[in-house]
Structure 1
Amino acid sequence: MFNSETVETVRSLKAQDKIIGVGRFTLENPAYFPELSRLPGVGSVWTPDIEAVLELHPDAVFVYGTFMKSSVDEIQDILKAADPNLVVIRVDCYIPESYEEEVRILGHILDREEEAEEFLEFYRGAIGPIEAIVSVLDETDKPAIYFESWGDFRTATQGAGYHDKLVMAGGNNIFGDLALSYTDIDPESVIERNPEIIVKLCGAGSRNFGGYGEDDPSQLEGLREEVVSRPGWGTLDAVENDRVYILSNDILGGARHFIGIAYLAKLFHPELFADLDPAAVHREYLSRFQGLDFRGVYVYPEILI
């Protein structure tokens, strides 16, 4: 399995014993994948190790469905040329719109249909109440959000997965009118649009800290201080009202996207989601479906229930 999102979803279905080889990002995350990270590696969709895949003699190879499509198309072509009988299965396992269908597909393929329905009942129980409340909100009731990736002044716009998750959580992306999915923006434009809430990601690139493998919030705290101290940003509504948050990509990207959406909904609409406890959803997911203890640092400042 090349993508760790599929590895994680397969573990939710209690079928991890069927996995015989994993991609680079599973190997590099032993805290979250303690046993699976010890399996043979097959590279990544950027640098696949086709020989390693074929040496494992798998019945099927799982790769992304839509992400890195040209690279994955090439991987599929090479594998099928080497072994015409090899089954290549294309699923993403991180996009909210297609996630439920892909879980059912995996349940069918892996003979885990009951487990798939059990997991989807939990998933819908987490995401459904948020969708119900957000769906009846007027646009004027949605706070203006500036979302920034781990790269400074890089934001998500219409067509980007992160933008869609902001919308699902009941936010109004201040750069949602831009045509590009991801783009660098001028810091002055943030001042001009004056967001009510700022969400800054960590957990990748030069901000690769936080998440499951860490328990010390000091780096998230330091990153937040960097953001609020930017020249001219002290007058932003988000800064003046102390609504600047650092969020780990561990829970907003990948198979855990629904947990990140729950955290965002709580941050955006604390009154509407007074009974929502994102940490409790997260804790149950880890213990019940991933076989892991709850630990890590995911949001700063911490959400108080």
Structure 2
Amino acid sequence: MAFAHSPARRVALRGAAGAALLSLAPRRVRAQQAAALVDIAGRRVQVRLPARRIVLGDGPLAYVVALLRPDEPFARIVGWGDNFRSADLGGYLAYRQRFPAIDRIPTFRGSNVGAIDIELAISLAPDVVVLNLSSRPAAESSGLMVRLEQAGIPVVFVDFRTRMFDNTARSIDIMGELLDEPGRARAFLQFRQAQIDRVVRPLQEVAHRPSVMIERAAGLYDDCCLSYGDGNFGELVHAAGGDNLGSHWLHGTFGTLHPEQVIAADPDVVLVTGANWTLYSPAGDWVNLGPGADPAAGRDRLRRLMQRPAYRALSAVRAGRVHAIWHPFYDNPYYFIALQRVAKWLHPNRFASLDPDATFRELHARFLPVPYQPGYWLSLDTP
């Protein structure tokens, strides 16, 4: 990831970011102490806690920070991936409206952690760099881990993506330790588990699992059909009482299905992911989802996506069993909202009283600093 700012602007940007951080900094901060922390990769890492200067190797980790420190979520963030903005512009703008100083936090581009501007990362003097577990191979092969270790900067891995159900709770605990918010971490995890149980328990003896074709980032790329194997959204669809088509052919978390495979399988339900990807592909047919997104415009795009060869003859499309959901749920601790929504689509009678929208509103009211705005999902057959 190359940082987005030229060398000539770095000093000025760092100064502006520093001023923004000072303006948001808490008046009373607990003194730092050296502590040993075991990260999600099982590594024992020495970190100064609480961490006062944090680099987020992946921008969407901002969603974790927001729920743990809602009053001043980004006061301790001294650098982060630009993909918070570019991969979810709607979400970024919702937070920028409440916290305009986030525009002054230095950012780095792309999704390849191995391309981080290491010198700039070191110059930001972070107490810790937080990376997704999926970034570990690139961080090691690029030399990033060695250089940060030589500079005395610890790296901590968390995971909200590879194994959602297995690793989220420990990852939230880790972030709670870094931010000195263990109480909020526990409260959130209790809420999360209660909401997961509302789906998992009624499905313990489910007799029929509808087959589901999940297309990852539909319309963002020219080709069809990126999908999920057993991990990530594939894991989520299974937990929601579905039979994920990709699990039958794909080895690993992500992969590509051939359109002929989709046609031959004739899945019961089609599910695509979308977000505001204006900065990635302004002219794409991706479904714009996220806070405040227009459902009518999104439904028009979803209808066009279903005219591609892989879909237009499917019985699910003819019957209107086609849905779109916010893509950033895929690496986000709020994924249990998507779990409820998908379960209700797949088993509407069993979950007639379940209201994912109300669950998301409660999450915002109890844990998040921005107001809830609908727009995170839609269905083709909704008037």
**TM-score bucket (shorter structure):** 0.7 to 0.9
Task: Report the structure number with the largest CA radius of gyration.
Answer: 2
Q: Residues 126 and 258 of structure 1 are in contact (CA less than 8 Å); yes or no, is this contact kept in structure 2?
A: yes
For 1:291 and 1:303, how far apart are their aligned partners in 2? 33
Match of 1:256 among 325, 334, 353: 334
Match of 1:41 among 106, 127, 131: 106
Amino acid corresponding to residue 332 of structure 2 in structure 1: G
Measured at CA, do residues 7 and 234 of structure 1 come closer, stay the same or move farther in structure 2, by a change above 3 Å? closer
| Equivalence map 1:50-129=2 (5 Å) | 50-65=118-133, 67-73=134-140, 74-81=143-150, 83-84=151-152, 86-94=153-161, 95-129=164-198
Structure 2 unaligned spans of 5+:
1-55
Q: Residues 223 and 246 of structure 1 are in contact (CA less than 8 Å); yes or no, is this contact kept in structure 2?
A: no
For 1:174 and 1:27, how far apart are their aligned partners in 2? 31
Q: Residues 96 and 257 of structure 1 are in contact (CA less than 8 Å); yes or no, is this contact kept in structure 2?
A: no
Name 2:263's counterpart in structure 1.
191
Amino acid corresponding to residue 306 of structure 2 in structure 1: V
Measured at CA, do residues 49 and 284 of structure 1 come closer, stay the same or move farther in structure 2, by a change above 3 Å? farther
1:303 Cα shift? 9.4
For 1:105 and 1:232, how far apart are their aligned partners in 2? 42
1:9 Cα shift? 1.0
Q: Secondary structure at the match of 1:247?
A: strand
Q: Secondary structure at the match of 1:21?
A: strand
Q: Residues 229 and 250 of structure 2 are in contact (CA less than 8 Å); yes or no, is this contact kept in structure 1?
A: yes
Measured at CA, do residues 57 and 155 of structure 1 come closer, stay the same or move farther in structure 2, by a change above 3 Å? closer
Amino acid corresponding to residue 225 of structure 2 in structure 1: R
For 2:365 and 2:287, how far apart are their aligned partners in 1? 22
Amino acid corresponding to residue 320 of structure 2 in structure 1: D
Q: Residues 250 and 256 of structure 2 are in contact (CA less than 8 Å); yes or no, is this contact kept in structure 1?
A: no
Spell out structure 1 runs of 4+ moving beyond 4 A: 204-209, 231-235
1:209 Cα shift? 4.9
The answer as to 2:12 corresponding to 1:12 is no
For 1:207 and 1:252, how far apart are their aligned partners in 2? 20
| Equivalence map 1:125-274=2 (5 Å) | 125-138=194-207, 141-149=208-216, 150=218, 151=221, 152-181=223-252, 182-203=254-275, 206-207=284-285, 209-231=287-309, 233=311, 235-274=313-352
Q: Residues 329 and 338 of structure 2 are in contact (CA less than 8 Å); yes or no, is this contact kept in structure 1?
A: yes
Q: Residues 364 and 371 of structure 2 are in contact (CA less than 8 Å); yes or no, is this contact kept in structure 1?
A: yes
Bigger shift: residues 51-60 or 37-46: 37-46
For 1:8 and 1:42, how far apart are their aligned partners in 2? 16
Q: Residues 269 and 321 of structure 2 are in contact (CA less than 8 Å); yes or no, is this contact kept in structure 1?
A: yes
Q: Secondary structure at the match of 1:31?
A: helix
1:4 Cα shift? 2.6
Amino acid corresponding to residue 40 of structure 1 in structure 2: I
For 1:33 and 1:13, how far apart are their aligned partners in 2? 15
1:202 Cα shift? 1.7
For 1:233 and 1:48, how far apart are their aligned partners in 2? 39
Amino acid corresponding to residue 295 of structure 1 in structure 2: Q
For 1:124 and 1:302, how far apart are their aligned partners in 2? 30
1:180 Cα shift? 2.9
User: Cα RMSD between the aligned structures?
Assistant: 2.6
Q: Residues 343 and 351 of structure 2 are in contact (CA less than 8 Å); yes or no, is this contact kept in structure 1?
A: yes
What TM-score do the two structures reach when normalised by structure 2? 0.70
For 1:49 and 1:289, how far apart are their aligned partners in 2? 33
